[in-house]
Amino acid sequence: MRATVIHAPHDIRVEEVPDPRVQEPTDVVVRVLRACICGSDLWAYRGESARQPGQRIGHEFLGVVEEAGSGVAGFGPGDLVVAPFVWSDGTCEYCAEGLQTSCPQGGFWGSVGSDGGQGEAVRVPFADGTLVKLPAAAASDDRLLTGLLALSDVLGTGHHAAVGAGVRRGSTVAVVGDGAVGLCGVLAARRLGAERIIALGRHRARTDIAKTFGATDIVAERGDAAVAAVRELTGGQGAHAVIEAVGTEQSMRTAVGIARDGGAIGYVGVPHGSGTGLDLSVLFNRNIALRGGVAPVRAYIPDLLPDVLDGTIDPSPVFDVTVGLDGVPEGYRAMDGRTALKVLVKP
């Protein structure tokens, strides 16, 4: 089959690789209908996260089960399924409590020896613990299918940030990061009942989506000016709940600066300097909690899926460019250059 391979920073290729096949009784093979490129893939693309030359890449996909191992109970050929960005056994203590990202048998798509999502097909370990079935009818609804793809990462990750930030009915929320995850954070915050959602961003195409998703205020300033603007909007206090969806020193510094005393920062931006932006004395003096991390998306899909299916939330606008598999390298360039928000891949 053909799949995306990363050879070196800025060297992403689509090439022939071995066809995936069932290796363990608990495996299935999924033929990919939709995949996409994640902001976190850019860390590898830019060489800021190490990859071995030849590793696959891509961790978001949905598709149709092609072959199922003898030990798979919940899925059979023809089933439409979505995969969270981490596989997990579904049976351990962590899986039972909804922290599948800590499953000792879990792993990331595209890690050494595993398929990535940006390819024609994927071998899925622990299919019963990992995959979630989607209604077959969704396969013929292009927009819905695209929205459902967001369940594999960005929507659940935005939701994790909102949960970590303690968003509840009536909350004032501020969102740092105008990428797909930040925008999904806006969507998740609205879904959880936030009364006011302040989105930080200066790119019109993105802030327009933020408004569609429920943002009540847009702050275009950056750094100290952004902190001042959010404080002015909140009677000087800052936001109860802050979503940090970038992971840099600057973004975390801003998140701390705009948080209200006694509030919380829900952080889901993969840390790339954000630890340095975290002044513990400030958090301490102002009792600001920090809660987040790699999102246990698998746990959230059952909650979020009905709302996507019935149209209560529609994350599909975060995908603004569509490519075929051959277009994946160009998709990386577009996201790296911020000319694309999030690239949808139709293999």
Interface contacts to a second copy, rule CB under 8 A? 93-94, 97, 99, 101-102, 164, 237, 261-262, 264, 267, 270-271, 274-275, 278-281, 283-294, 296
For the four alpha carbons of 85, 89, 91 and 93, in that order, the dihedral sign comes to negative
Place of tokens 């798979």: 72
Closer CB to a second copy, residue 15 or residue 261?
Answer: 261
Among residues 109 and 319, whose Cβ is nearest to a second copy?
109
Output the smallest distance, CB 294 to a second copy, in A: 6
Nearer to a second copy by Cβ, of 79 and 89: the residue is 89
CA 100 to CA 241: how far, in whole Å?
25
User: Which residue, 259 or 313, is less far from a second copy as judged by CB?
Assistant: 259
Tokens representing 115 are 């398929």
For 173-242, the three-class secondary structure string (H helix, E strand, C coil) is EEEECCCHHHHHHHHHHHHCCCCEEEEECCCHHHHHHHHHHCCCEEECCCHHHHHHHHHHHCCCCCEEEE
Kindly tell me which of 73 and 280 has the beta carbon lying closer to a second copy: 280
Amino acid at 12: I
What are the C-alpha distances in Å from 44 to residues 6, 10, 58, 195, 272?
A: 8, 9, 11, 37, 12
* Distance separating alpha carbons of residues 119 and 113, to the nearest angstrom: 14
Instruction: Return the number of the residue (211 or 291) whose C-beta is nearest a second copy.
Output: 291
Please measure the distance between the N-terminal and C-terminal CA atoms of the chain and give it in whole angstroms: 11
Minimum CB separation of residue 247 from a second copy in Å reads: 9
CA distance 185 to 9: 29
CB 101 to a second copy: min, Å: 7
* Contact indicator for 302, 276 with CB cutoff of 8 Å: no
- Residue 179 CB, nearest approach to a second copy (Å): 17
Q: Which two tokens stand for residue 264?
A: 């919380």
- Give buried/exposed letters for 160-190 (b at 16+ CB in 10 A, else e): bbbbbbbbbeebbbbbbbbbbbbbbbbbbbb
- Nearer to a second copy by Cβ, of 18 and 235: the residue is 235
Closer to a second copy by CB, 93 or 303: give it.
93
Min dist CB 287 to a second copy, Å, is 4
Shortest Cβ 260–a second copy spacing (Å): 9
Given the structure tokens 């363990």, which residue do they identify?
Answer: 24
Min dist. Cβ of residue 89 to a second copy (A): 15
| Shortest Cβ 258–a second copy spacing (Å) | 15
Q: Whose Cβ is closer to a second copy: residue 83's or residue 278's?
A: 278
The alpha carbon of residue 14 and the mean position of all alpha carbons in its chain are separated, in whole angstroms, by 23
Distance separating alpha carbons of residues 164 and 61, to the nearest angstrom: 25
Taking the complex as a whole, how short is the minimal distance between the CB of residue 301 and a second copy, in angstroms?
A: 17
Assign 3-class secondary structure to 80-95: EEEECCEECCCCCHHH
